[in-house]
Structure formats: C-alpha cells, structure tokens
Structure 1
Amino acid sequence: MLNIGCHLSSAKGYLHMGREALAIGGNTFQFFTRNPRGGKAKAIDTEDIKALLTLMRENSFAPLLAHAPYTLNACSADSKIRDFARMVMTEDLQLLELLPGTRYNFHPGSHVKQGTEQGIIMIAELLNEILRPQQQTMVLLETMAGKGSEVGRNFTELRSIIDRVELQGKLGVCLDTCHVFDGGYDIVNDLEKVLEEFDEIIGLERLLAVHINDSLNILGSHKDRHARIGQGNIGLEALSAVTNHPQLKDLPFYLETPNELPGYKAEIALLRSLYRW
C-alpha cells in the first residue's frame, strides 16, 4: 500500500484531521504543531489525541508528521529568535510524546550573513540542548531549496549538522522533492544517482519521510515554489518514480501542493493508481 497523505489544518483537533485524511483516501497526514507563523501552542486535549490513536490503529495509519512553524530559526543571529526556537521545539517534543511514532520535521534555518558553517554549528548546538535519550520522537531535518541563506541546501550540509549532534539516533531526514529539484538534484533524469549520493553522504536509513511536491521552477533555481502533482517541472512520471522506487516505496509521503481537500483527494487517487507494489 502507498502510504500517503497531505498537510491538514489542526484547528478542529486531531481526531478531525484523522477523519479528513481517511475521507480523501489518505492513511497519514502532516500538521503544524502550532500556528505556522509562530506563537503559543493550543492546550493539549488528551482525549482528542486518544481518539485519534484509536482511529489510526483501526485504519492502519502510517506515521504522522508534525511540522514546526516556519518562523523557527535555530541559527538566527538574534538570540531571542534562537530562544524562541528552543522553546517551541522543547514544547513540541513534549506534546509528541503523546503521539508515539509521530515524526517531527523542521527547516534547519537561515544563517543570515553569519556563514553556513556558523549556522550548522548553531543548529547542532540547539539540537544538543533539546534532544533527550528517552524521547520516542524522531526529529527530521528537511532538505531545503537553498534560497537566500538557508542551511540544508545540500546533503553535505545536513550531514554536517548530524555529525555535530550527540544523540544522532534521534535524527532523520525528510526529503522534499520540490526542494531537492530546485536545489540542483536531478530527480527527473537521474533519480538513482541522487539516491546514491544521499546514501553515501547521509545514509538512506535516515530517510524517514518524503514531501511529494512538483515544482514551479526549473532544476537548480533555488526558488522553492511548490506546484500540483504533474503540473510543474518535475512532472508526474518522475514523481511516480519516486513513490515506486524500491528504496522509497514503504516510506510515508506527504503532499504540500497548493490545494484544498478535493485537490488533495485527486492527487492521492492519482498517485495510488500509479503505485505498482
């Protein structure tokens, strides 16, 4: 079975998201832990979470993916922004202990004129502060498109972060198809080479989630603008090759395309129809 879902709004609660995922043909979903632009997290409703866990067991859900807010920047030059990142990630990881198996994805950050090396050091320092040996949640570094001063624009930068973290067993990677394509990795014409490079530098065992998105921009544009499946420069054939690849086929895939629920439902049905396993 293709494990696939989309990004859903958490405004109406966890059980509601689970029901929405099922209604559009999904068996997983991604959600923001709080407002994507930052702020305080909503109060935890443990009964709502328990109801979702029951629904997930009954419907063989793949792992969920929690996404940190976009405003989180672990390598900001501003100490207050770094303090915010520390607070958010600490709170989020505490929440996710109530959702066993859920993975936590975040954008590594932007170094903003400090230089990539300094950005890598600061991101690793923050991870060393917040990761705990007993936590159940895997924290995922997302592959980035490389716009501006983003850290994580290539596999080597992500590897450099991992190498500086003490509890490396708590870290994985979320590969975003739009981001890696915009970052210069040719998943259209040479997916095998891209995966070989990922394996050599990071290790495919760390790849735990995929954002499956098309791109409005050309290879190596460093722009990061998502497109609907089959309506961008990656294309349906290449994206189907990703979901069907023997080394990727069992991973959970999360759509972040510019859609409402009916559009996500159509994309899920399309990718399922092309799944060969």
Structure 2
Amino acid sequence: MLKIGSHVSCSPKGLLSAVNEANEYGSSTFMFYTGAPQNTRRKPIDDLYPIEGKLAMESSGIEDTIVHAPYIINLGSYKESTYKLAVDFLKEEIRRTHAFGVKHIVLHPGAFTDMDAEYGIQRIADGLNEVLGGTNETEVHIALETMAGKGTEMGRSFEEIASMIEKVEHKDRISICLDTCHIHDAGYDIVNNLDGVLEHFDQTIGLDRIGVIHVNDSKNPCGAGKDRHTPVGSGWIGFESLNKVVHHPALAGRPFILETPWIGKDAKTQRPMYEVEIALLRGNVEERFGPEFVEDVQKLRSFFAELELDHRQYVLDIWTVLKNDAKAKKEDPREPLERLYDYVTAAELFPDLSEEAINHRLIAWLAGS
C-alpha cells in the first residue's frame, strides 16, 4: 500500500491526536512536530501520549511516521548563540524522536545569513557532527530537506547537500527529505524531466539516502526560488507530475507527506484538502468518497467545458497574470482555486454543499481524467 499522509497536529493529546487526525484523512503515514514549530519549548514525552499513540498507529496500520524539526533552528548561523541553540536542541529532539519510535527527523539545513555559501556548508556540517557525535540514538537519521533557494538558505542544490554530507563523520545517520515544491522552485524540472532529475540526484547524493518525500504543488514557475506551496493540481507542477513522483519506482516504499496549505474564503474556517489529495494520489477516490462524488466531478467537467476552460491552462494562466501583472493582481488577487470556487457558487452548481466539499471536488477536477 502506498505510504502517503500529511502534516498533522499533536494538539491536544500529542501522538494520539496526530494519529486520529491522520485517520480522518485516510493516511497510512504522517509527519508531526514534537512541539510548536515556531519555538523550542517542548512538553515532556510522557505528556504527549506516546504509548496510546503507538497503539493507535498499530490498530490503524500507520507506519513510517516522520518528525519535523522547528523552522527557527539554524545550524548555518555565524552567531554562536543561535548555532549553540540549534545544536543543543537537535540533540534533545533526536532523543525525543527516538522515544516516539521514529526513524527520520526532517531538518531545514540552515542559512548562511551575512556570510557566504562556503561558510554555510562548513558550519552546517560542523553542527551535524556535533549533534550526531553527541547522541547515541543511532537509529534516528537527520533528513536534510532540499530547499527552494530563497534568501540565503542552504540545500538549494543537490551539490550543496552533497558537500555537507561529505564533511559529516556519521554519514550513515544522514538521510534526505526530497520536497517537490522546493526542488521545482530551485530549478529542477520534475514536470518535463523527472527521470533526469532523479538520475542527477542519484549521481550527486544517491537515491538510497531519500528517507521521505514532501509532496507539494508550487505557486511559482520552475526556478523561481520562492517556496510557496499550493494544493495538488492547483500549481505549476500539476497533478499528473506529482502523481508520477508518488508512483515512481525509484521512490517506492518511502513515506510521502503532503504539506499543502489549507484553503477557504475565511482564514478562520479554512480546511485542508488532504483527504481528497491522498485519495487522488492513491487512486481510490470513488471508494473513499462514493459514486455521487465522482458524478459531481463529471458535472464540473461539463460545466467548465461549456466555459471553454481547460484545467491546466487556466491554472497556469492565472498564476502567470498574478506574477507578471502588478495592476491585475492588485485589482483581483484571487488565486486559481478561489476563482474556480466563485464560478461554481455563482452558477449555484452545488447549492447544498459546503465550501470544503466544493473545494474537494475542484481538486479532483484539477486532477484531470
């Protein structure tokens, strides 16, 4: 069975809450933080229901879960206090990850800020050596995440990551988190040349190091260096290309994690699209949602066909306008999914469905045939 899930929350009952949320989406894996992603404050492990969570995972058939380190950790910093915080925290986070029985902790490598890339690579490698050399939980791997290249963040090319690994003593404890949005935004053309990108990765780093794949569409064209996620099928990568990633034989057996943004008109009531994204990528939409859902998607196809609106071209055209025409963006900043939702509600196509339910159907329509 395809190991696919999403980023989930540990509130209010720690690992048990994470498992319950993952089950709502039909997940067979998931990724979580052991605390808030914006800081390093952490509750004791026993307060996060580890035993209850593991039992729930077993009964649900969930495996290969992933921990994500908080975003504020920066091993590339030249500031001693920032660097020491990153090293000390990661040592403790490895111990916590081990206590949950998790094998991979995803880490944004770091940013060189006021220095340069060469300094950043060495500083990150030094930090990884301190962290791995100071922990005994050898089953836990630090999964360096491929980055989009915004600002001074490192890991924006396969070569940068390879240079970091080369300088690490405990290479057997380094894995990779391959993020589709990030490598697309960094300039790797996974839409037209997925096999070539994976071959380049294999030659530079080695496909055997990939421990987890983040599955995200992108709001920006290839090489933009922006790192702005969008739901599957609603961005420049598109469903077809992401589906090829998820089912590529070279990536088989790894956990695939969605980090796509929640959507909706009102920020307070926005909802994730994980359930339908997982079903589409797994190929069991009708089983998950029922035949009426499929009929509604066909209704959308007919509706948009009358408007002569192609699902892929429309998405790319809107993102192009929003990127290149400042006046048009100011007058109408709505993104593709929001515009499509407005089309549907104006036509009263599904008057009895909630905003979330309509968006589910739009995501399915964007997946094409």
Query: Which stretch has the larger CA shift, 50-59 or 201-210?
Result: 50-59
> Which region of structure 1 is more displaced relative to structure 2, 67-76 or 258-267?
258-267
Cα deviation for residue 135 of structure 1 reads 2.4
Alignment of 1:100-249 (within 5 A): 100-131=101-132, 132=135, 134-249=137-252
Moved more, 197-206 or 256-265: 256-265
**Aligned sequence identity (%):** 41
1:266 partner amino acid? V
Indicate the SS of the match to 2:221.
coil
Q: Could you list the runs of 5+ residues in structure 1 that have no partner in the other structure?
A: none
Q: How does 1:4-15 map to 2 (within 5 A)?
A: 4-12=4-12, 13-15=14-16
Q: Which amino acid aligns with 1:174?
A: C
Preserved contact between residue 94 and residue 137 of structure 2 (Cα < 8 Å):
no
One-letter identity of the residue aligned with 2:236: N
1:240 touches 1:274 (CA, 8 Å); kept in 2?
A: no
The one-letter amino acid paired with 2:9 is S
Greater mean deviation of Cα atoms: 106-115 or 41-50? 41-50
CA distance in 2, matches of 1:87, 1:190: 40
> What's the CA shift string for 1:115-150, capped at 9, x where partnerless?
111111111111111114542211100000001111
Tell me which amino acid in the other structure corresponds to 2:149. Answer: G
* Alpha-carbon distance change, 127 to 273 in structure 1, aligned in 2, over 3 angstroms: same
**Alpha-carbon deviation of 1:11?**
2.0
> Are residue 36 (structure 1) and residue 37 (structure 2) matched?
yes
Shift of 1:37: 1.2
Q: Measured at CA, do residues 33 and 150 of structure 1 come closer, stay the same or move farther in structure 2, by a change above 3 Å?
A: same
The AA in structure 2 aligned to 1:176 is D
CA RMSD of aligned residues (A): 1.6
3-state DSSP of counterpart to 2:67: strand
Residue 70 of structure 1: aligned partner: 71
1:59-98 paired onto structure 2 within 5 Å: 59-98=60-99
More helix by share: 2
Q: Give the Cα–Cα distance (whole angstroms) in 2 for the partners of residues 36 and 101 of structure 1.
A: 18
More displaced 10-residue stretch of structure 1: 68-77 or 95-104: 95-104
Equivalent residues in 2 for 1:246-261 (5 A)? 246-259=249-262
**Relative to structure 2, which stretch is displaced further, 143-152 or 6-15?**
6-15
| Equivalent position amino acid for 2:178 in 1 | L
Give the Cα–Cα distance (whole angstroms) in 2 for the partners of residues 134 and 144 of structure 1. 26
The 3-state SS of whatever aligns with 1:61 is coil
- In structure 2, distance between residues paired with 1:96 and 1:3: 20
Provide closer, same or farther for how the CA distance between residues 261 and 137 of structure 1 changes in structure 2, counting only shifts above 3 A.
farther
Is 1:51 equivalent to 2:52 in the alignment? yes
Give 1:47 deviation, angstroms: 7.5
Which stretch shifts more, 165-174 or 109-118? 109-118
How far off its partner does 1:46 sit?
6.5
Structure 2's unaligned 5+ residue stretches are 263-269, 286-369
Matched AA of 2:283 = S
2:298 maps to none
Is 1:266 the counterpart of 2:266? The answer is: no
Instruction: Tell which has more relative contact order, 1 or 2 (C-alpha 8 A, sep 6+).
Output: 1
4+ runs of 1 displaced by more than 3 Å? Answer: none
List per-residue Cα deviations over 1:104-125 (Å, max 9, x = no partner). Answer: 0010011013111111111111
Q: Kindly indicate whether the alpha-carbon contact (under 8 Å) linking 1:24 and 1:262 is maintained by their aligned counterparts in 2.
A: no
Aligned to 1:3: 3
CA distance in 2, matches of 1:139, 1:87: 14
Asked if the contact 2:66–2:102 (Cα under 8 Å) also holds between the matched residues in 1, the reply is no
In 1, the alpha carbon distance for the partners of 2:157 and 2:257 equals 21
